[in-house]
């Protein structure tokens, strides 16, 4: 259990580092969940939530940075709520 909490803290830290870039374009990202199979769920908000390029931002930006910083992560997925 402690391993997952440590991993979640690392994930949230990466999101905090990415957040200013998204906010500069009127968007944001929120952590939602870290699954047992190491898939991070996030919610893109603001302009990122409705941007036609949000999937590219998610996969080429957020997911790439996340896996580089936390290699245990398998993927980053966007959820709608």
The pLDDT value recorded for residue 1 is: 55
Please say whether the beta carbons of 58 and 76 come within 8 A.
yes
- Token couple for 56: 């590219």
Q: What is the CATH number of the domain that holds 48?
A: 3.30.300.130
- DSSP strands (E only) in the chain: 27-34, 39-46, 75-78
Q: What is the CA radius of gyration of the chain?
A: 12
Read off the pLDDT of residues 42-75 as tens digits, 9 standing for 90 and up: 999 988 788 788 888 888 899 999 999 999 999 9
| Structural domain that includes position 20 | 2-78
User: Into how many domains does the chain fold?
Assistant: 1
pLDDT in tens, 17-46: 999 999 998 999 999 999 999 999 999 998
Cβ partners under 8 Å of residue 61, min gap 6: 18, 21
Q: What is the pTM of this model?
A: 0.89
**CA torsion, points 51, 56, 57, 63, in degrees to nearest 10?**
140
């Amino acid at each position: 259990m402690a391993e997952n909490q440590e991993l979640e803290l690392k994930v949230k830290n990466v999101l905090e580092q990415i957040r200013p870039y998204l906010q500069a374009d009127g968007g944001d990202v929120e952590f939602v969940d870290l699954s047992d199979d190491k898939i991070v769920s996030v919610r893109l908000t603001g302009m990122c939530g409705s941007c036609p390029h949000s999937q590219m931002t998610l996969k080429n930006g957020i997911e790439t940075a996340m896996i580089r910083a936390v290699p245990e992560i398998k993927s980053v997925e966007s959820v709608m709520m």
